[in-house]
């Protein structure tokens, strides 16, 4: 059978290991007996619609090798969601037309919940149009909120980064005299699921260690209980450190901090929950407070990536090619946990429709009874995911990250409106 071309694209918020998935996938695709040229969408699915396809063969081999340890989205990401086939029929048809113009019959989409919706719908649309196209989803999200898969590439590294940040911030706060800051607030990402905030609980190995309190979206925020707990910790051990998820909500489901604007996916733009908590502690308890917002740093902190996370990201990229070689379409690679201790994992797959627009919340058994911390069950789940170090190469005291040349394949179609 003649070889056909492939397109890989990145979507949504990036991670410190999404390029490791690209690295594994490109390696496997170039070695495949079914795939000829490998192209990459410049800025995700937007690059496909705009017929801006990066020719991987024109990248230096060392640049492709550097993907393994380079953070963020090397090929460019986007937040475009193709919500409805009928309403977006022109866009779906354009994707098929671009693929046909470049003899592309394999499409690998590296993203989260919304991206898997595109995987499922594009696979079905191509079949209806009679175009041979195999669409495979590669999981990615720091939120760790994809169902079916045990965990998501990107989460283990952000969990490690955030936990170390809280550990060090807590030590700083503890060291200060009572006339200085005795409360520290760390805000993490996490719109509806509290996995990232919960992970910082790994830093607490005894009652003096922070974080002492963790505020998660799954637990309705109770102001009176919270302030009482802060005051109790400061009185008993001399300080209190707090992790707050950006998606923390009150009993009515209102976010503690919502800007009133929405992103391209229609999600409320969040940010500032940590500041709300700081202001509350200052105003109500009259305590000195410092805070930090990890924001983009947490998702792109490749210098602290988990070795397990890097290995799983690479493996998911390679497995996507293997699934395509098996003739599958409309599926996503999954990580399967085989045992906790010793930690063993393997790869599987599921229909992308099982992932699309679904969110895996932090289970109740992972949340302490008072709602302010994690259980041993969560520690058992999360600890294996942050294991090992996989440092990037350094030069002159800094990591050596590399940009790609991004040579585009000549366009063959008229510009798309």
Largest CA distance in the chain: 75
- CB of 250 closer than 8 Å to CB of 256: yes
Active-site annotation holder among 114, 117, 143, 209: 143
For this structure, is 263 an active site residue? no
Q: State both tokens at 368.
A: 């302490």
| Residue with tokens 């690998």, as numbered in its chain | 108
35-41 and 53-55 beta bridge pairing = antiparallel
> Distance of alpha carbon 18 from its chain centroid, rounded?
8
| Residue with tokens 């976010």, as numbered in its chain | 255
Alpha-carbon distances of 84 from 26, 87, 91, 131, 322, rounded to whole Å: 30, 5, 10, 19, 29
Query: Any idea how long the chain is?
Result: 417
- CB of 238 closer than 8 Å to CB of 181: no
Strands (E), 116-182: 134-139
CA dihedral defined by 281, 283, 285, 289, rounded to 10 degrees? 40
183-188 and 240-245 beta bridge pairing = parallel
By CB atoms closer than 10 A (0-12, 13-18, 19+), residue 172 is middle
By CB atoms closer than 10 A (0-12, 13-18, 19+), residue 91 is middle
- CB of 134 closer than 8 Å to CB of 105: yes
Measured CA to CA, the distance from residue 394 to residue 400 in angstroms comes to 5
Q: State both tokens at 60.
A: 């230096």
For the chain, helix, strand, coil in percent to 5 are 40, 20, 40
Dihedral sign for Cα atoms in the order 402, 405, 409, 415:
positive
Measured CA to CA, the distance from residue 386 to residue 67 in angstroms comes to 20
Which residues belong to the active site? 143
């Amino acid at each position: 059978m003649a070889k056909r071309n492939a397109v890989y694209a990145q979507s949504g918020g990036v991670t410190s290991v999404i390029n490791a998935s690209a690295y594994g996938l490109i390696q496997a695709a170039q070695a495949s007996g079914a795939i000829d040229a490998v192209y990459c969408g410049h800025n995700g699915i937007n690059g496909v619609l705009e017929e801006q396809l990066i020719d991987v063969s024109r990248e230096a081999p060392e640049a492709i090798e550097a993907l393994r340890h380079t953070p963020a989205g090397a090929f460019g990401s986007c937040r475009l969601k193709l919500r409805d086939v009928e309403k977006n029929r022109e866009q779906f048809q354009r994707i098929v037309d671009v693929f046909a113009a470049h003899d592309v019959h394999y499409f690998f989409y590296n993203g989260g919940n919304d991206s898997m919706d595109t995987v499922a719908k594009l696979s079905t649309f191509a079949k209806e149009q009679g175009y041979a196209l195999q669409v495979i989803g590669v999981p990615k999200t720091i939120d760790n909120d994809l169902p079916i898969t045990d965990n998501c590439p990107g989460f283990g590294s952000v969990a490690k980064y955030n936990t170390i940040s809280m550990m060090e911030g807590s030590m700083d706060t503890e060291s200060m005299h009572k006339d200085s800051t005795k409360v520290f607030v760390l805000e993490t990402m996490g719109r509806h699921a509290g996995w990232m905030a919960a992970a910082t609980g790994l830093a607490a190995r005894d009652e003096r260690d922070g974080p002492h309190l963790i505020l998660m979206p799954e637990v309705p925020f109770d102001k009176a209980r919270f302030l009482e707990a802060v005051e109790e910790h400061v009185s008993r051990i001399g300080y209190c450190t707090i992790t707050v998820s950006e998606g923390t909500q009150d009993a009515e489901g209102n976010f503690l901090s919502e800007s009133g604007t929405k992103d391209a996916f229609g999600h409320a733009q969040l940010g500032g929950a940590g500041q709300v908590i700081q202001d509350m502690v200052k105003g109500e308890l009259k305590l000195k407070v410092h805070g930090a917002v990890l924001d983009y740093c947490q998702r792109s902190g490749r210098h602290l990536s988990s070795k397990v996370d890097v290995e799983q990201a690479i493996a998911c990229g390679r497995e996507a090619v293997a699934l395509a070689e098996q003739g599958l379409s409309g599926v996503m690679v999954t990580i399967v946990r085989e045992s906790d201790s010793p930690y063993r994992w393997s790869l599987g797959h599921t229909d992308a429709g099982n992932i699309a627009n679904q969110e895996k919340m932090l289970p109740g058994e992972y949340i302490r009874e008072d709602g302010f911390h994690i259980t041993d069950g969560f520690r058992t789940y999360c600890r294996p995911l942050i294991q090992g170090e996989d440092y990037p190469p350094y030069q002159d005291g800094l990591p050596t990250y590399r940009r790609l040349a991004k040579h585009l394949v000549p366009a063959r179609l008229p510009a798309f409106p």
